[in-house]
Amino acid sequence: MTSPNTPTQVSDKFFSGKKHKLAVLRSLGNRALTILCCLLALLTLVPLFSLVFLVIKNGLPLLTWEVFSGLPPAAGLKGGGFGNAIQGTFIMVSMALVLAIPLGVLSAIYVNEYEPYSRLSNTVRFVAKLLTGIPSIMAGLFAYGVVVLAFGSFSAFAGAVALGILILPTILLTAEQALLGVQTAYREASYGLGATKFQTIVRVVFPEALPAIMTGIMLAVARAAGETAPVLFTALFSQYWLKFENLDSLVNQPVASLSVLIYNFSTVPFEYQLQLAWTASLVLLILVTIANVLGQLVFSKKP
Amino acid sequence: MSNDAVNPSPTAMHTAATSSQAQPRLDLLSVRDFSFYYGSKQALFEVSMDIPERQITALIGPSGCGKSTLLRNFNRMNELIDGTRCEGDISLLGRSIFDPALEVIALRRSIGMVFQKSNPFPKSIYENVVYGLRVSGEKRKSVLDEAVERSLRGAALWDEAKDRLSESAMGLSGGQMQRLCIARAIAVQPEVLLMDEPCSALDPIATVKIEELINELKREFTIVLVTHNMQQATRCSDRTAFFYLGKLIEYDETNRIFSNPREKQTEDYITGRFG
């Protein structure tokens, strides 16, 4: 044989002897690692699924119309529900969004579209990133100090301020990323046709970024609806419905919320209250999921 | 560098005699000692050239030679990039485009641009075409409708698009998208059309269509065409400017550049010795 690489020789080289064993070992190692990664990925799903399973299993038995219409039972008593807590959570999350969305989205537009490299923009980005890491209880303490003490009462507004502070950085940072993700080609096309910066943002950039901005807002909704600590200090809790008479109703009385109800009832020694806490968790999970799906449906990109 | 006054080519004289009473300007766009910098990197070195009205001027040269940079200066698109600056002057119809009294928005309306990669907005075909009119405040439906038909006909897209004007532009083929971008650019009736390698992302058949279209558009518009493709320059353009390393090496009638270039660098490039 003259050529050193005839097929038989190549196969001899690779399928026998020491090298062959090495190749087999490598391929085994490769497979083992793939399986390991797969198992670990499954493992991360275990806590999630077991949580959802537990919430459904323990929450379903009491899930009747009564929990939506009734008021929380006093200690040791049975019956009733947590309609006022759903109402309170709904009011506070909505108000928090009303406060945080304009502030967050407009800041993101400034930071990404107008002055991306200015000192102010860098500061805003830095502070927003810092704020995502603050313990939620600090947002509660802040709102307590600023709103509760100023108005002299626990209130829905104070709760909304605390939640708003908490979700503002999430909304700002995701909105900035969403705007950053809009292709330069769209901006250039718009400027090339004689559009101003404002027209370009309103007509092209913002609509294109909207679905991703919505995703950030939905994350914020989920976070705000589930937070306990900030609400505990600001809205406290109430056994009654929030009766809306005028704007003062939002600042002069404590308000119930699902998260605080869950927190309260999960620490009491009464079976019915414990059950109700599970059901409240289930309702919270369902409401957040519905909000999420609706948000995605309404604002998703049309093909 | 051929910097002497541009002589009207026979074709230009012919066009002038048939389609317009006024003599076409030989310096519709005029570049004088124009240098351009990206930060500290100089991309253009004292370029001077005159671009004649209602002709096709091709800018050729290897990647990074500054041809696109010059093109993007005609409508001040480079201002959108941070840290750029320029020296010298460019004027449109005798008026400096850097004149502080001139609004950049008005400039971009009179100098339309078609980009390398077709970039229709994710809106309907109709909304794409009328975008330029809408941002300039036009609201009358009759005017918009008329502009859509005129522009789509002008871009040879009317027959394919007339029944689907309200459908998304994203459903068009690559070549159709690029023609839509041309329709969008001519909808505002600019003086000049800048085309930045408009066919480089298209297949040969779509390329032929766009080239035919460019030749048609020349009757109404002054066209500046950046191209990598030397055959395209010979097929489409009346005049050709060869750039190398940010300098204008040679600028002359296209057939002269390709048959009898004066500069050795031009000859080396068009014969494929480098680039």
pLDDT at residue A186 is higher than 90 = yes
Q: What is the reported pLDDT for A250?
A: 85
pLDDT at residue A14 is higher than 70 = no
Q: Residue A44 has which token pair?
A: 């991360």
Q: Which of B110, B123, B135 to mutate to test the interface with A (most CBs of A within 10 A)?
A: B135
A:B CB pairs within 8 Å: 67
Q: What is the reported pLDDT for A11?
A: 60
What pLDDT digit, counting tens, does each position of B201-240 carry?
888 888 998 999 999 999 999 999 999 888 899 999 999 9
Nearest residue on chain A to B183, judged by CA atoms?
Answer: A193
> With bands split at pLDDT 50, 70 and 90, how would you rate the model's confidence at A299?
confident
Q: What is the reported pLDDT for A7?
A: 58
Q: Do B112 and A192 touch (CB under 8 A)?
A: yes
Q: What is the 3-state secondary structure (H, E, C) of chain A?
A: CCCCCCHHHHHHHHHCHHHHHHHHHHHHHHHHHHHHHHHHHHHHHHHHHHHHHHHHHHHHHHCCHHHHHCCCCCCCCCCCCCHHHHHHHHHHHHHHHHHHHHHHHHHHHHHHHHCCCCHHHHHHHHHHHHHHCCCHHHHHHHHHHHHHHHHCCCCHHHHHHHHHHHHHHHHHHHHHHHHHCCCHHHHHHHHHCCCCHHHHHHHHHHHHHHHHHHHHHHHHHHHHHHCCHHHHCCCCCCCCCCCCCCHHHHCCCCCCCHHHHHHHHCCCCCHHHHHHHHHHHHHHHHHHHHHHHHHHHHHCCCC
The answer to whether B198 faces chain A, any CB pair under 8 Å, is no
What pLDDT digit, counting tens, does each position of B97-124 carry?
999 999 999 999 999 999 999 999 999 9
| Alpha-carbon distance A107 to nearest alpha carbon in chain B (angstroms) | 21
Instruction: Give SS3 for B250.
Output: strand
Q: What is the reported pLDDT for B275?
A: 54
Question: Comparing C-alpha atoms, which of B155, B108, B152 is closest to residue B126?
Answer: B152
> With bands split at pLDDT 50, 70 and 90, how would you rate the model's confidence at A247?
confident
Measured torsion, CA atoms of residues B242, B245, B247, B252, in degrees rounded to the nearest 10: -10
CB B147 within 8 A of CB B129: yes
Q: What is the reported pLDDT for B225?
A: 95
pLDDT at residue B6 is higher than 70 = no
Q: Do A204 and B106 touch (CB under 8 A)?
A: no
Residues of A in contact with B134 (CB under 8 A): 203
d(CA A141, CA A133): 16
Nearest residue on chain B to A301, judged by CA atoms?
Answer: B122
DSSP summary character for residue B220: T
> With bands split at pLDDT 50, 70 and 90, how would you rate the model's confidence at A6?
low
Q: Do A193 and B106 touch (CB under 8 A)?
A: no
Provide mean pLDDT across the span B19-32: 78
Q: What is the reported pLDDT for A21?
A: 81
Q: What is the reported pLDDT for A20?
A: 78
pLDDT at residue A164 is higher than 70 = yes
Higher pLDDT, B108 or A9: B108
pLDDT at residue B18 is higher than 80 = no
Instruction: Tell me the percentage of chain B whose pLDDT exceeds 90.
Output: 75
Q: What is the reported pLDDT for A303?
A: 41
Residues of B in contact with A302 (CB under 8 A): 168
CB A117 within 8 A of CB B82: yes
Q: Do A193 and B115 touch (CB under 8 A)?
A: no
Q: Do A195 and B181 touch (CB under 8 A)?
A: no
Nearest residue on chain B to A204, judged by CA atoms?
Answer: B121
Q: Do A195 and B185 touch (CB under 8 A)?
A: no
What pLDDT digit, counting tens, does each position of B229-264 carry?
888 999 999 999 999 999 999 999 999 999 999 999
pLDDT at residue B17 is higher than 80 = no
What pLDDT digit, counting tens, does each position of B48-59 carry?
999 999 999 999
| Average confidence score pLDDT of chain B | 88
Q: What is the reported pLDDT for A51?
A: 93
Q: Residue A208 has which token pair?
A: 């294109």
Nearest residue on chain A to B181, judged by CA atoms?
Answer: A189
The answer to whether B51 faces chain A, any CB pair under 8 Å, is no
What pLDDT digit, counting tens, does each position of B131-146 carry?
999 999 999 999 999 9
Q: What is the reported pLDDT for B5?
A: 42
**CB-neighbour burial class of residue A26 (10 A; exposed 0-12, middle 13-18, buried 19+):** exposed
The answer to whether B117 faces chain A, any CB pair under 8 Å, is yes
pLDDT at residue A108 is higher than 70 = yes
| Average confidence score pLDDT of chain A | 89
What pLDDT digit, counting tens, does each position of B146-200 carry?
999 999 999 999 999 999 999 999 999 999 999 999 999 999 999 999 999 999 8
